Amino acid sequence: MNSAEKKLGSVANYVDERTGAAKWLKKNLTKVFPDHWSFMLGEIALYSFIILLLTGVFLTFWFDPSQREVFYHGNYAPLSEIKMSAAYASTLNISFDIRGGLLMRQIHHWAALLFMAAIVVHLMRVFFTGAFRKPREFNWIIGVGLLTLGIVEGFLGYSLPDDLLSGTGIRIAEAIIQAMPIVGSYLAFFAFGGPFPGEVFIPRIFTVHVLLLPGIFLALITAHLMLVWYQKHTQYPGPGRTEKNVVGYPFMPVYMAKAGGFFFIVFGITAFISAVASINPIWLYGPYTPGQISAGSQPDWYMGWLDGLVRMSPNWESHLFGHTISWNILIPGLIIPGILFTSMALYPFIESWVTGDKREHHLLDRPRNAPNRTALGVTALTFTIVTLLNGGNDLIATHFSLSINQITWMTRIGVLVLPPLAFIITKRLCLSLQRADRELVLHGKETGRLLLLPHGEFVEVHQPLTDAEAFALTQHEQLQPLELEKVDSHGVRRPGGIANKLRARISRATTEQITRPSPEDIKEIEHH
């Protein structure tokens, strides 16, 4: 035993004698985690959250969350002697007078963009591989909650500097609140302490941004990770991997080093981007005043699809019995996002209702083997991308010299036509890929080597797959459509006739698939 081991041993002893944690720790420190690059996406989100906490604390030491009017006297000459809020002036101070302040601000903002991007890509990985299935529905819902709160937290964060661009964003948020039927103007007046913009909003959202939401984030992230730990990670299918085991490397030391190291890598890359690429240069926008605006006003990317939806909305408004309902705000600003996020949160339950599958799943699906789910995901992505494009319609128009009206009309039509088209194309692609898998298993890989047979025929030599490869392509389960009889075993009509019909119809669509080769199929081919 060398001295390092001795020291570690005595630390372990000290801890155990006070907590009795030895057994628990031994089990958990050697816990096995499967290895795959796509499992690092969630880690990126976690690490950018830690970076956000660290840099955020730094920023609070100098940021003055107040709308009190001050005259700026700082290092940034172009705004000298200009009247502005203390929030904006202190953000200028952080950017120009505090050493490293601009770097921290930029790391904070880039990390926020990365945080949201990592969440979205992680969510796509979980969705397309079916990792949300039983028993992981809770974690899926927590994830959807984190995504939603992340959008809010990001929006509040970039609103804090009280510059012209962010103030415009707050104005739009106020209009959405104000548009709610019956309670809208009351909620808006409560939120802003009177008419917009008032003088209390920045201090209020500061509390929400640095205390309330980060607290909820910490709680939800902790629960998210504890569930991952407790339920053990899902794994991709392959030889030796089953629903009953988990194949990978122990947490200590491999994942401690890899995950810990990866945190520093994410930090380093974020720091590098922030060192060389400017973001949210608030000094160029000037202080907020409701009478001014800059052309090309854009939200951060994760709000872009919402903004694009609002931009493409028809100008519907109803005036009934002396009241106004702004459909042009309610539909794109509240109703569609509400439907999207609710159905996203409920998706695991919807899918299990359709398939009738109530079993646990720890082996991931290859996206092609769940054509309907994959197609649905691509449909949602297409919708978001079309709306996101329209969120930048002004920039696209000016950069490519196009008509903004035509871009808007294209996306208005596109948002209705392209998602269903994407569904059909994706589903066909998945089925084609299944067919290709079947071909590969039955006939092997094309080698490109041609043989001239004695009687003059040319054939291409095919190299059969290894057992491991063939297994990986055929291990997936192929569900049959639900058989929902009109009458139950007692001859009584089942309740919910239409719902059952719908369920059976979706179930048939879900189970459309290319039959997986069986061992007999392969044997038969080998005889030829």
- Residues 45-104 close enough to bind other proteins by CB under 8 A: 75, 96-97, 99-100, 102-103
Residue 523 binds other proteins (CB under 8 A): no
Closest CA to 465 of 433, 439, 435: 439
Between 14 and 272, CB nearer to other proteins: 272
Give long-range contacts, CB 8 A cutoff, 24+ apart: 466-473.
Answer: 467/239, 468/238, 468/239, 470/441, 470/522, 471/238, 471/239, 472/237, 472/238, 472/239, 473/437, 473/440, 473/441
For other proteins, the closer of residues 244 and 490 by Cβ is 244
The answer to whether 455 contacts other proteins (rule: CB under 8 A) is: no
Binding mask 373-392 for other proteins (x = CB under 8 A): --------------------
If we measure between CA atoms, which residue out of 296, 285, 294 comes closest to residue 161? 285
Among 288, 305, 347, 423, binds other proteins (CB under 8 A): 288
By beta-carbon proximity to other proteins, the closer residue of 23 and 455 is 23
| Element containing residue 279 per DSSP (H, E) | none
The correct pick among 205, 271, 306, 378 for binding other proteins (CB under 8 A) is: 271
- Whether the upstream peptide bond of residue 253 has omega within 30° of 0, thus cis, is yes
Which of the residues 395 through 454 are near other proteins (CB under 8 A)?
404-405, 408
CA distance 354 to 432: 23
- Report the SS3 class of residue 336: helix
Distance in Å, CB of 453 to other proteins, minimum: 30
Q: Are 239 and 467 in contact (CB under 8 A)?
A: yes
**Residue 293 sits in the site that holds other proteins (CB under 8 A):** yes
Q: Give the gyration radius of the chain's Cα atoms.
A: 28
Identify which of residues 314 and 496 has a Cβ nearer to other proteins in the complex. 314
Binding status of residue 257 toward other proteins by CB under 8 A: yes
List the interface residues with other proteins, window 131-190 (CB under 8 A).
135, 168, 171-172, 174-176, 178-186, 188-190
Candidate segments 120-128, 355-363, 378-386, 427-435, binder of other proteins by CB under 8 A: 355-363
Binding test (CB under 8 A) with other proteins, winner from 12, 54, 70, 246: 246
CB of 135 to other proteins, least distance (A): 5
SS3 at position 205: helix
Between 33 and 63, name the residue whose CB sits nearer to other proteins.
Answer: 33
Instruction: Please report how many Cα atoms fall inside a 13 Å half-sphere around the Cα of residue 479, on the Cβ side.
Output: 22
Q: Which of 2, 3, 5, 295 binds other proteins (CB under 8 A)?
A: 295
Secondary structure letter of residue 293 according to DSSP: -
> Of 202 and 381, which has the nearer Cβ to other proteins?
202
Q: Report the nearest approach of other proteins to the CB of residue 449 (Å).
A: 26
The single residue among 242, 343, 398, 447 that binds other proteins, judged by CB under 8 A, is 242
* Residue 393 near residue 308 (C-beta atoms within 8 A): yes
Residues 6+ apart with CB under 8 A from 321: none
Closer CB to other proteins, 83 or 494, in the complex: 83
SS3 for 355-405 is HCCCCCCCECCCHHHCHHHHHHHHHHHHHHHHHHHHHCHHHHHHHHCCCHH
Tracing tokens 């519907």 back to the chain, one arrives at 316
Length of the chain as a residue count: 528
User: Any contact of residue 43 with other proteins (CB under 8 A)?
Assistant: no
Contact between 297 and other proteins by CB under 8 A: the answer reads yes
Q: Does the protein bind other proteins through residue 393 (CB under 8 A)?
A: yes
- Nearer to other proteins (CB atom), residue 274 or residue 426: 274
Q: Find the part of the chain contacting other proteins (CB under 8 A) among 341-349, 378-386, 466-474, 494-502.
A: 466-474
* Residues of span 301-320 touching other proteins by CB under 8 A: 307, 310-317, 319
82, 437, 512 from 515: Cα distances, Å? 72, 10, 9
User: Of the listed pieces 212-220, 351-359, 422-430, 492-500, which binds other proteins according to CB under 8 A?
Assistant: 351-359
Segment interacting with other proteins, rule: CB under 8 A, options 2-10, 324-332, 378-386, 456-464: 324-332
Taking Cα atoms as reference points, which of 439, 429, 424, 426 lies closest to residue 516? 439
Residue at 44: amino acid letter: I
